[in-house]
A and B are shown apart, each in its own frame.
Chain A
Amino acid sequence: AQTVTQSQPEMSVQEAETVTLSCTYDTSESNYYLFWYKQPPSRQMILVIRQEAYKQQNATENRFSVNFQKAAKSFSLKISDSQLGDTAMYFCAFMKRPQGGSEKLVFGKGTKLTVNP
């Protein structure tokens, strides 16, 4: 079974600064996807970024980038130029690469990020 661990229950950052959220996972699979989702106070789960394990290049999406270390099973999220609207719970999630069907997402417990003005 896969597990996802987010070791930082809460973090804070000043507006315009950079913050990194940590995520480690455990799996015996070689083909999989990793995701970061954001859950603001509205509680809607919003996709931030996605990484395919077979790709060595780290994914980026505007101010959001990841540091994917496959051997270390680490998948951290870096938020640059933090904005007040980035305040949210951030969840790291793992998915086995489906074989013709669908697979579940396995979530960590989340990191609560607060961006201070």
Chain B
Amino acid sequence: DGGITQSPKYLFRKEGQNVTLSCEQNLNHDAMYWYRQDPGQGLRLIYYSQIVNDFQKGDIAEGYSVSREKKESFPLTVTSAQKNPTAFYLCASSLLGVSKETQYFGPGTRLLVL
């Protein structure tokens, strides 16, 4: 089955701790994205990557970091610099090319601060 997987489903972070959220896709998609969802809000873009070893900041990149060492994987690290990390995090992926850019989402990771 092709799809996007995210792990873990729930993640707890202690003060001052860095945590990493996993996102893997087997759709052979070129681009991958990380969005954050807060209660009562739509999604906001954190980072995105169009190609291996390259990524760009989105609207709310402060306190987050990413890597793209493989086409299939785009992990997100929430650093201690992110002062309000409690949110639902969604990973998405898409092809590149005219009329192919629809983004498909994984099941999400809920991050809570202890």
Contact = CB atoms under 8 A, between A and B. Distances in A.
A108 B101 contact: no
Interface string B71-111: 00000000000000000101010101001011111111010
Given A33-B101, A105-B43, A107-B42, A45 B50 contact: no
Contact of B101 (A44, A91, A98): A98
Interface residues of A, number: 26
Interface of B: 30-31, 33, 35, 40-45, 48, 50, 58-59, 88, 90, 92, 94, 96, 99, 101-108, 110
B102 A104 contact: no
Interface of A: 4, 33, 35, 37, 42-47, 50, 52, 91, 93, 95, 98, 100-105, 107-110
Given A91-B42, A95-B101, A110-B42, A101 B108 contact: no
Nearest to A106: B42
A35 B110 CA distance: 24
A91 B104 CA distance: 14
Given A109-B40, A109-B41, A102 B101 contact: yes
